[in-house]
Amino acid sequence: MQNPNDKSISTTRHGDRTAIYRLTKQAVWNCTSETYTAPAINNQDPKYITRLYRKQYINRREYLYGNCGKGQLTTIGVEEHRSLGIDLREAYIVQNKFLPEKLNTSLISILSTDVHRTIKSAESLQLGLYPLEASNGNEIKDVIDLGTTDRLSSFIAINWDRCPRLAEITNEIKTSEMWKEHEKSRQSLTDKVNKALGVDDLMGFSLGHISDTFWCRKMHDLGLPEGIDDDILTQLREERSWEYNAQYGNESYYTLDSALLVNHFISNIDKALNNEIETKFFHFSGHDSTVAPFMMAIRAVKKVIYPQYASNVRIETWVDGEDAFIRVLYNGEVFLTEGCADVFCDYETWKRLVTTYDVKNWEKDCQAKNPDFAKQTFSRIKEGQNYWENPNGF
């Protein structure tokens, strides 16, 4: 390849976080990772910012015991993404000179769900990619735009309000004979978890769903509840993988769920190859429910991989003369796109393989077939507006 890397697009899952559900009352969370913000004064020159505000969750006033918000990125999660950024710096700056040594904010584009753990993950990755000593050297402080959208507008994470059909497909899967038979086969495990929680019905959660709360406690040295040991936790993690494959491995689900995200990737690659945008590194900061179906949609895997915290998918555009190629990596490992003859897949071939869904039909196809699942529609999108055409360059 004459040009080892022309553009790179990365999709990540946030790093380790606090629990989202309490379930048991024994764990007390202590968060030391802090968030600072500056006063919002219009058109203020960054070099004149002298006051910062520190966000703090008030101890004994939170859903979780301690001083943390639920689902908050922890210090472990911060370090996971900073380490990922360091790895990307080695690959993209030190080795192949794809990005410059010093930060050039015009070459970076970030889009995140509007959630603390994904926003802070994106910031942490950038701190590894461009540590403070790699700032632009100017008197003005570096300001990197971090784009986000409200929940109803989001296409990075599950959006059942915007696409009720996804909720309907999920319900069809979880009420299917396949799902019921699997639950029966795991009754012994269910009984053990119910006993540990002191309930009769898993409190409305599935086995896989409940595993994350226990895993968060283990990763942060908060111990496991009485009655839950490492063997049970391993089984619960296996259940999480099974459930993800049942849901996100469903072709109807993952094609509909990832259609807009895939289209945005392709739109950016096309613009980059045509020199219509200056951006070289795109980062989409999302969730496990972003990464898992997306890997299926781009034909990188035939079976869902449950993405651990800080997992990342990288789509690299390599250029050789007038020819462009795509290389896909998952957690640093190169993956062969199904239908491609080589890990460096001809771009037009790759685009044809992954563009399996016409996004112009997306809004219509997102309507639930059963009126019971006709939830709130995305009414703020004007009829006929091409919101899938990536007007903001994300």
Tens-digit pLDDT profile for residues 285-302: 999 999 999 999 999 999
What token pair was written down for 222?
Answer: 């908060």
**Closest C-alpha to 354, from 332, 338, 341:** 338
Q: What residue has token string 């929680």?
A: 197
With CA atoms as reference, report the closest residue to 22 among 77, 71, 76, 74.
71
Q: Classify 317 as helix, strand or coil.
A: strand
Q: Which of 3-12, 228-237, 254-263, 369-378 has the lowest mean pLDDT?
A: 369-378
Q: Residue 378 above 80 pLDDT?
A: no
Would you say 69 and 6 are in contact if contact means Cβ atoms under 8 Å apart? no
Strands 312-320 and 3-13: antiparallel
Q: 337 Cβ partners below 8 Å, 6+ apart?
A: 298, 299, 300, 326, 328, 345, 350, 353, 354
Q: What is the DSSP string of 341-352?
A: SSSSEEHHHHHH
**Residues whose CB falls within 8 Å of the CB of residue 358, separated by 6 or more in sequence, listed in order:** none
What is the rounded CA–CA span in Å between residue 337 and residue 206?
32
Q: Quote the domain boundaries for residue 263.
A: 3-17+55-162+251-373
- Across the range 60-74, mean pLDDT stands at 87
**Phi/psi of residue 330, nearest 5 degrees:** -125, 120
Using DSSP, state whether 242 is helix, strand or coil. Answer: helix
| pTM: predicted TM-score of the whole model, two decimal places | 0.88
The mean-pLDDT minimum among 73-77, 198-202, 305-309, 310-314 falls in 198-202
CA 247 to the chain's CA centroid = 17
Per-residue model confidence as pLDDT tens digits over 257-280: 999 999 989 998 998 888 888 899
- Mean pLDDT, range 7-35, rounded to an integer: 84
Is 314 exposed, middle or buried, given 0-12, 13-18 or 19+ CB atoms closer than 10 A? buried
154 in any annotated domain:
yes
* Overall number of domains in the chain: 1
Residue 211, number of CB atoms within 10 A of its CB? 24
pLDDT value for 64: 86
What pLDDT, on the 0 to 100 scale, is given for residue 150? 79
User: 196-206, pLDDT tens digit by residue?
Assistant: 888 888 777 88
Going by DSSP bridges, is the β-strand pair 3-13/333-335 parallel, antiparallel, or unpaired?
Answer: unpaired
pLDDT, one tens digit per residue, over 46-60 is: 767 778 888 888 877
- Answer yes or no: is pLDDT of 383 > 60: no
How far is Cα of residue 356 from the mean position of the Cα atoms in its chain? Answer: 21
Tell which wins on pLDDT, 136 or 346: 346
Q: What is the CATH number of the domain that holds 150?
A: 3.40.50.1240
Q: Which residue matches tokens 């038979």? A: 181
- Out of 62-76, 133-147, 324-338, the most confident range is 324-338
Residue 164 pLDDT level (bands cut at 50, 70, 90): confident
Q: Indicate if the pLDDT at residue 137 is higher than 50.
A: yes
Report CA 266 to chain centroid distance, whole Å. Answer: 18
User: How far is it, in rounded angstroms, from Cα 210 to Cα 208?
Assistant: 5
pLDDT band (50, 70, 90) for residue 128: very high
What confidence score (pLDDT) does residue 139 get? 54
- Tell me the chain's radius of gyration from C-alpha atoms: 22
333 Cβ contact partners less than 8 Å away, ≥ 6 residues apart = none
For residue 49, which of 141, 127, 144, 145 has the smallest C-alpha distance?
Answer: 141
46 lies in a domain? no
Q: Is there a domain that residue 182 lies in?
A: no
State residue 78's pLDDT score.
Answer: 94
Neighbours of 267 (CB within 10 A): 16
Length of the chain (residues): 394
- Give percent of the chain with pLDDT exceeding 90: 51
Residue 240: inside a domain = no
In a domain, 313, yes or no: yes
Give dist(CA 393, CA 268) in Å, integer. Answer: 7
Residue 332, amino acid: G
Inside any domain, residue 158 = yes
Distance CA 93, CA 71 (A): 32
The C-alpha angle 339, 166, 261, rounded to 5 degrees, equals: 50
| Structural domain includes residue 288 | yes
| Separation CA 333–CA 342 (nearest Å) | 14
Residue 245 pLDDT level (bands cut at 50, 70, 90): very high
167 domain residue, yes or no: no
